[in-house]
């Protein structure tokens, strides 16, 4: 793996000299298609066809904050992409090109402001089979203009996977990853197939023995809504068991399911006991109550989702591939509603105004007043809290 890493780093270093070739690849395009997210991921490339992996349109979205403009050649293969990200705070631009050879496909992307190669990806093929996937990228996609000879492991992200076959299908892979300020780590991938030959699961195995599923085959007999209902019930039961195992102080007044949209989605748990709630109300009024009840919620409990891992990965694999966070948010709200209305199934004591709620605190804290009823809070209790001015800014 060290040799592959060094070769990939050297390829990235040489890419600095290829910024001037962007127009050459752009000119090779014959048609233009638009998307609001990245398409044509190299991991999906096959000489027989290169699936976009998501919708493409012939018209640009005038209201979008992220635009991917793909230039396709006569065979429908992407040869050039222009990426624009804009909001009220910042505007960034990237351009990249695709290079095809009989034994490799390569994607190189540049930040137009710094002229840094922000990402380089390669898929190596031998004897008609994908044998290696390699990716090297910069933190913040090359936005910061740091002399490239001063870049260290904190600014560079690397992913390398070498695949092993049995007959015509991948059965395992050796992986290397580095970046994010962490020391490099090794891992293995295990592929499991049904008797029909269809890929069922992919499991990552770390050197310390820990494992987790990264892919689960979708079940064509189950709709996304059916999966959501099943997962909400199982997640609610798992949360109750976790609170019991952690000897959570009772009665419980508030239970927060804190998650991050689009990440692993696994919520951490934070509780406010009835006694803590009383102390807060004795010492604070109005909007200060909101701060202490819903923002300063104390220590959090990490949730181990391994008992429901297969259903979890199956459901969120569909959510992520659809590029729509709403079903994931709805499932977590549904879980919170089950916990609220069921009073934690009577297995733990709860306050008369007990509420469990699911919240992405990074983006949704100002929407909590609207989220709480979705999670089972009664209109009478919500009105009571409004009258006490808990939600006033």
The answer as to whether 207 is a domain residue is: yes
Which tokens go with 282? Answer: 């004795």
Query: Model-level pTM?
Result: 0.87
Q: Show Cβ contacts of residue 122 under 8 Å, excluding neighbours closer than 6 positions.
A: 8, 11, 42, 104, 105, 106, 107, 132, 133, 134, 135
Which tokens go with 59? Answer: 């018209």
Domain ranges, residue 320: 224-387
Strands 169-179 and 268-273: unpaired
The answer as to whether 392 is a domain residue is: no
In the chain, what's the furthest Cα-to-Cα distance?
Answer: 73
Task: Specify the range with the lowest mean pLDDT, choosing from 7-11, 138-142, 266-270, 308-312.
Answer: 138-142
The answer as to whether 301 is a domain residue is: yes
Contact 53, 41 (CB under 8 A): yes
Question: Do 121 and 249 fall into the same domain?
Answer: no
Which of 149, 181, 216 is where one domain is finished? 216
User: Would you state the pLDDT for residue 292?
Assistant: 85
Sign of CA dihedral 134, 140, 141, 147: negative
Residue 146's pLDDT band, with cuts at 50, 70 and 90, is low
Q: What are phi and psi of 34, to 5 degrees?
A: -120, 150
Contact 55, 35 (CB under 8 A): yes
Question: Do 33 and 176 fall into the same domain?
Answer: yes
Q: Is the pLDDT of residue 88 over 60?
A: no
Q: Is the pLDDT of residue 155 over 70?
A: no
Question: Do 128 and 187 fall into the same domain?
Answer: yes
Higher pLDDT, 309 or 7: 309
User: Would you state the pLDDT for residue 295?
Assistant: 80
Question: Do 116 and 234 fall into the same domain?
Answer: no
Q: In percent, how much of the chain has pLDDT > 70?
A: 94
Kindly state the average pLDDT of the residues 199-209.
97
Which tokens go with 357? Answer: 């709620």
Question: Do 248 and 313 fall into the same domain?
Answer: yes
Helices 224-245 and 309-321, axial angle in degrees (round to 10): 130
Cα distances (Å, whole numbers) of residue 357 to 153, 233, 291, 337, 349:
38, 15, 16, 7, 17
Encode pLDDT of 244-277 as tens digits. 999 999 999 999 999 998 777 999 999 999 999 9
Over the chain, what is the mean pLDDT? 91
User: Would you state the pLDDT for residue 147?
Assistant: 63
Q: Give strand pairing partners of 156.
A: 138
Q: Is the pLDDT of residue 369 over 80?
A: yes
| Alpha carbon distance 138, 177 (integer Å) | 14
Which of 181, 216, 251 is where one domain is finished? 216
């Amino acid at each position: 793996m060290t040799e592959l890493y060094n070769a990939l780093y050297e390829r990235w270093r040489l890419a600095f000299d290829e910024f001037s070739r962007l127009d050459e690849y752009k000119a090779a395009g014959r048609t233009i298609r638009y998307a609001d997210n990245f398409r044509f991921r190299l991991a999906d490339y096959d000489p027989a066809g290169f699936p976009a992996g998501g919708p493409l349109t012939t018209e640009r979205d005038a209201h979008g904050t992220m635009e991917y403009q793909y230039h396709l050649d006569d065979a429908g293969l992407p040869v050039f992409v222009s990426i624009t990200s804009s909001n009220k705070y910042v505007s960034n631009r990237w351009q990249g090109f695709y290079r095809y050879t009989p034994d490799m496909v390569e994607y190189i992307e540049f930040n137009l402001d710094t002229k840094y190669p922000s990402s380089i990806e390669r898929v190596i093929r031998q004897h008609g089979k994908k044998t290696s996937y390699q990716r090297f990228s910069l933190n913040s996609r090359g936005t910061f203009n740091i002399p490239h000879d001063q870049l260290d492991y904190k600014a560079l992200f690397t992913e390398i996977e070498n695949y092993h076959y049995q007959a015509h299908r991948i059965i395992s892979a050796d992986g290397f990853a580095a970046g994010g300020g962490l020391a490099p780590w090794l891992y293995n991938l295990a592929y499991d197939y049904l008797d029909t030959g269809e890929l069922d699961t992919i499991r990552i195995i770390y050197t310390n023995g820990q494992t987790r599923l990264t892919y689960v085959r979708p079940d064509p007999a189950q709709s996304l809504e059916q999966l959501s209902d099943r997962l909400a019930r199982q997640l609610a039961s798992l949360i109750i068991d976790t609170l019991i195992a952690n000897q959570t102080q009772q009665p419980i007044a508030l239970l927060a399911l804190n998650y991050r949209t689009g990440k692993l989605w696994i919520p951490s748990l934070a509780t406010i006991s009835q006694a803590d709630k009383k102390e807060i109300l004795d010492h604070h009024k109005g909007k200060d109550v909101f701060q202490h009840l819903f923002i300063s919620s104390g220590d959090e409990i990490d949730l181990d989702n391994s008992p429901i891992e297969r259903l979890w990965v199956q459901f969120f694999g569909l959510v992520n591939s659809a590029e729509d966070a709403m079903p994931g948010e709805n499932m977590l709200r549904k879980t919170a509603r089950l916990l609220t209305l069921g009073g934690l199934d009577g297995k733990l004591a709860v306050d008369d105004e007990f509420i469990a709620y699911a919240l992405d605190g990074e983006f949704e804290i100002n929407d909590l007043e609207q989220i709480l009823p979705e999670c089972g809070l009664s209109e009478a209790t919500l009105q009571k809290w409004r009258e006490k001015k808990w939600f006033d800014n």
